[in-house]
Chains A and B, each alone.
Chain A
Amino acid sequence: MSIAEAEVQELKLEQPSSLGRDALDRFRHNKAAMVGVVVILLLVLIAIFAPLIAPYGTGEQVGVLDSSNPEGPSSEHWMGLDEQGRDVFSRVVYGARLSLLVGLVSVTFGLSFGFVLGALSGYFGGWVETIIMRTMDIMLAIPTLLLAIGLVSLLGRGLTQIMIAVGITTIPIFARLLRGSILAQRESDYVLAARSLGVPGRRLLMVHILPNALAPLIVQATLVMATAIIEVAGLSFLGLGPAEPGLPEWGKMLADNASRIDRATHLVIFPGAAIVISVLGLNLIGDGLRESIDPKMRS
């Protein structure tokens, strides 16, 4: 989230850039980014084929109830059992579905609304822009976790509400980004030329400006998705997550077992590592994307 914030500042001052064959080439040769792609592909595959990969169900009790000494990793249960006697590996695998879902939905939500708001303020300018951008400033003034917490209090607990809440917190980032991009492009040569030729504003916007702004938005979306996953995990950790306690959400698994960390370290390590790896993959991709569409950034 912080990188996103920081980059918003930087990108605002940059020239527009585009996806193209050059960019794709650079991306493909970026080793770190490729690692990220592999990680995320794996994650997606795991999520899709979870029922085939996971040996047990998420609520299936395969061992005894034991809150003092849940069984650790063994050859039968690679990640051990939890206090409800459930197979941790299966739960972590199904948790991938949840995390991906959460990340995708909240980012899509935020991106859609942010896009519209950004486009409106970039196109109309004037008081429309002022109102929208001031509102975005206000939203950004509140730390995103607190904002998300506040929204969850309003909307109630539940997976959908959390996705919406986290999605809402990402709107200002996208809105500002798009507006900044539109503003920067407005002054650029090709736009000035087009206007002097009489090309109508709306057509310019739709056909040229917006597609050019797409690239940084996609980069941002990847990075924001990473923070969305962390944020939902954080909300679960604080006890504000989805109300159904059996949900194999990684953050919730961490929270529930934080007190057992010395006797059942496996219950904390595995979900935590899953979060780190997924988020790392997304960050690697986002970073790589940014570098490939704008090699100047790499210095």
Chain B
Amino acid sequence: MRSVKRGKLGALALLAALSLLAAACSTEDSGGGGDEGEDTGEATATLAFGVSADPIVLDGALVSDGESLRAIDQIFEGLVTLEPGGTEVVPGLATDWEVSEDGRSYTFNLEEGVTFHDGEEFNAEAVCFNFDRWYNFKGSLQNPAASYYWQTVFGGFSDGKTESLYESCEAEEELVVTLNLTKASSSVLSALALTNFTIASPAALEEYEADRGQVDAEGIFSPAGTYATEHPTGTGPFMFEEWQRGDRLVMTRNPDYWGEAPGNVETLIFRPIADPAARLQALQSGEIQGFDLVDPQDYPTIEDDDQLQLLNRPAFNVGYIGFNQAIEPLDDIAVRQAIAHAVDREEIVSGFYAGQGEVATQFMPPELFGYSDGVTTYEYDPDEATRLLEEAGYDVPVQLDFAYPTDVERPYMPDPQANFEAMVADLEECCFEIQQKSATWTPDYLDNVDNGRYGLYLLGWTGDFGDPDNFIGTFFQTPQPAWGFENDEIFTALDEAEAETDEDTRTGLYEEANNLIMDFLPGLPYVHTEPGLAFAANVTGYQPSPVSLEPFATVTVEGGQ
């Protein structure tokens, strides 16, 4: 009776006590950092890193999203790479190279004694296998979003539908390979440092059917083979171990790595945590030892915490308000200038970027050559804005629609909603009436922007490689629905600058182009940021890169947690 009831209660209590005991024990276990003891430089540490999402797939040729590239950077390598933390091209799998007289042939001498993770030899044939594979992409693999970087750099494929910069690849000797182009190019070498041109094991590509599958129009590759999800095989300092979507991607140190891997990380785990606040909390509680895409409003918290450290990438991005001139009255320069004067960019940058942002005067960051110190600038002056509008004959307030994306953080725009609210407040306080719009970043917002459905919109860009062509060339070299204008002066100036091979002349041409652009004012750039990464204080050796090319092979986790 009472004893039976007591019995049941007692059992419950015992179970509860056991659980508490187990919980107490596990407290010491959790927050796995390094292994204490062996300071002999042996790689024994486990590093868990918080990322914003799962990679799409682990095949560099078919992705363009940051998280896929981040993982691929650990497993694969290319002919050339970038100096750590910078944008200068340095040797990778190639030790040195020569360019032919006519600028159309690049001959690379390859590193000796390199093997892929499956034991296959790395040689000139393997290089050509990869390039030819990309050149021969057919069907949906030619989707511009998936093989985006091939198309950006080289253009077309072997089917000849579009012109291609790529002509052929020749394996001259075992360790000498030549890439032949259809015409001289000034930017192809830095492009080869891109993660998308890393070299994979031909044997693995074939055995696990890397090309089998489909790409949808959003550029998402859904593989039918297992290469890109279970057997990505490169030459890099880490090897693929296992991948559970939504949970973890696990890589282990490559014991036969040909190069230098001074760090001590044995097991590298990428953990997808969508919410930046949750990433910070996981770092604070020791569940992860680092994460990317830090919310600027968390910078003070991290800097004040002794157990944590904040690292910054050099500014290599731009955040802007885009103007779609196909929608009136944005085609009127007076209106665009009024907008530029009406928004208090200083206040937004100082309020929402925690000191890690600078106000932008043009569409590329100051560190890049071709940056112009002489562009027209637009001071915060709402009265001037009103005056411009009235002079041009408009009834104030002028109606405009303005859109911002939801469910996204970008390095140049960690809190789109905050920026949006502040800008709308500025615009409405001055002389505009704003119709507010929003959509989820993917698929709708980007879709709408690309199709010119918004008048004003918030967007930005992080550079892929160290060339102005990657910034203002991408935006303004050809007519696009997102910008809605045709301006031959600007188009021609950018064409000329891209084709020019003399470096100094090129710089001058790009400076000119920037001046033209900021006079024409196709949009309002407002910020360059130094995006932050957070780590536990005992993690050293991580080199933030302007283009986020960051190998973990140099990372050391000191001692235990």
By a beta-carbon cutoff of 8 Å, the part of chain A in contact with chain B is: 59, 61, 64-69, 83-85, 157, 239, 243-246, 256, 258-260, 262-263
Contact = CB atoms under 8 A, between A and B. Distances in A.
A29 B299 CA distance: 55
Contacts of A68: 296-300, 354
Contacts of B436: 243-245
Given A245-B438, A263-B300, 13 more contacts: A65-B422, A68-B299, A84-B425, A239-B406, A243-B438, A244-B436, A245-B421, A258-B277, A259-B276, A259-B295, A259-B297, A262-B301, A263-B301
Contacts of B348: 65
A65 B417 contact: no
B352 interface: yes
B351 interface: yes
A263 to B, nearest CB: 7
Interface in B405-424: 406-407, 415, 417-418, 420-422, 424
A259 B425 contact: no
A266 to B, nearest CB: 15
Contacts of B132: none
Contacts of B8: none
B96 to A, nearest CB: 48
Leading 6 A-B pairs by shortest Cβ distance: A65-B351, A259-B277, A67-B297, A68-B297, A67-B352, A68-B354
Contacts of A85: 351
Contacts of A262: 301
A67 B418 contact: yes
Nearest to B424: A246
Give the secondary structure class of B's interface: helix
Contacts of B152: none
Nearest to B355: A68
Contacts of B495: none
Nearest to B281: A262
B350 A65 contact: yes
Contacts of B299: 68
Interface residues of B, number: 31
Contacts of B352: 65, 67, 83
Given A61-B425, A64-B351, A84-B422, A69 B415 contact: no
B437 interface: yes
B447 interface: no
Contacts of A263: 297, 300-301
Contact of A243 (B295, B424, B437): B437
B554 to A, nearest CB: 30
A65 B296 CA distance: 13
Interface of B: 275-277, 295-301, 347-348, 350-352, 354, 404, 406-407, 415, 417-418, 420-422, 424-425, 428, 436-438
A67 B299 CA distance: 11
Contacts of A245: 404, 417, 420-421, 436, 438
A67 B438 contact: no
A241 to B, nearest CB: 11
21 contacts: A61-B425, A65-B348, A65-B350, A66-B351, A67-B297, A68-B296, A68-B299, A68-B354, A83-B297, A83-B351, A84-B418, A84-B421, A84-B425, A85-B351, A157-B438, A243-B436, A245-B421, A245-B436, A259-B277, A263-B297, A263-B301
A67 B420 contact: no
B351 A69 contact: no
A243 B438 CA distance: 7
Contacts of A67: 296-297, 351-352, 354, 415, 418
Contacts of B417: 245, 256
A83 B352 CA distance: 8
Contacts of B275: 259
Contacts of A244: 436
B347 A65 contact: yes
A258 B278 CA distance: 10
A157 B444 CA distance: 14
A243 B417 CA distance: 11
Contacts of A59: 425, 428
Contacts of A64: 347, 351
A51 to B, nearest CB: 19
A61 B407 CA distance: 25
Contacts of B406: 239
Nearest to A259: B277
B303 to A, nearest CB: 10
- Residue from the set B300, B348, B417, B437 with the largest chain A CB neighbour count within 10 Å: B417
Contacts of A258: 277
Nearest to B344: A65
Nearest to B284: A262
Contacts of A65: 347-348, 350-352, 422
Nearest to B428: A59
Contacts of B297: 67-68, 83, 259-260, 263
A259 to B, nearest CB: 4
B55 to A, nearest CB: 24
B436 to A, nearest CB: 5
B489 to A, nearest CB: 37
Nearest to A65: B351
A110 B437 CA distance: 29
A246 B296 CA distance: 21
- Residue from the set B351, B404, B438 with the largest chain A CB neighbour count within 10 Å: B351
Nearest to B417: A245
Nearest to B353: A67
A64 B437 CA distance: 25
Nearest to A85: B351
A37 to B, nearest CB: 37
Nearest to B347: A65
A243 B298 CA distance: 26
A21 to B, nearest CB: 47
A190 B424 CA distance: 64
Nearest to B295: A259
Contacts of B298: 68
A283 to B, nearest CB: 31
B351 to A, nearest CB: 3
Nearest to A256: B417
B166 to A, nearest CB: 44
